[in-house]
Amino acid sequence: MEIDWAALRAAAIEVMRRAYVPASDFPVGVAGLVDDGRVIVGCNVENASLGMTLCAECGLVSALHASGGGKLVAMSCVDATGAPLMPCGRCRQLLWEHGGPDMLVEALPRPLRMDELLPHAFGWVDMEKVTGPAGGPEVPAELAKWRGRGTVFVHPDLSGGATIWTGYWERSSGAPGTGEDKGILEEGPNFPTASAAVAWGLVRTPRIVVVDAEGGLSWAGEGELPEGIPQRWKKEEQA
């Protein structure tokens, strides 16, 4: 999509003049290009309770969803002189959520991608590492207190002559001689690949052991290899 930076900046300057800034006298205006071609705007709005002040980017994101949603492609943010202004840290996170890593922000001497402004950003991918993706392998509410504990064992099985993979979440760490209570917390469904079963397990605990058809053990969890497990699991060996 072609970006008319001059038009975006002009729209940002126009809305900047409507900012409500009785405390700072620092007006900010933003204009954003949406993936369907719409141009939306926002300005900062201060409050006597200063912590309630809304940055211009907050207004931009509200306008995005109030006018039909979509994804931000590019944004121009300006100060009182009309010069490009960088978003604050909180707003970079907000823009990442609604524009993603490829969104462009006007800067000098060139526009910057969001993954340049916010490297190693936090997003839903990080949430899914713990809770599972939407519609994915969430931990049942009654087992939530066990998240991060115990061990998941992944192993192959046969169904209709084809190899499938499944897993079970064991209460203990699996370490020998600990005297820990044992017992299965949860049995997993059937998965077409070992990697899918491992992903199910990692939502539950960082301790994942893959058992192959011959009974050999591989470590698919986090950290160093535990005692008694000779090798790390490799995805290319999942079949």
Q: Which residues are identified as catalytic?
A: 57
- Give the C-alpha separation, 210 to 100, whole Å: 35
DSSP 128-187: HHHH-STTS-PPPGGGGGGTT-SEEEEEEEEETTEEEEEEEEESS---TT------EEEE
Record the tokens describing residue 51, joined without a space.
């912590």
Give the integer Cα–Cα distance in Å for 124 and 81.
36
Distance of CA 128 to the CA centre of its chain: 7
Quickly tell me which residue has 């002040």 as its tokens.
53
Strand partners for 45: 20, 54
* 199 in Cβ contact with 137 (< 8 Å): yes
State CA 129 to chain mean position distance.
9
Q: Angle at the Cα of 225 (from 221 to 227), degrees rounded to 5?
A: 120
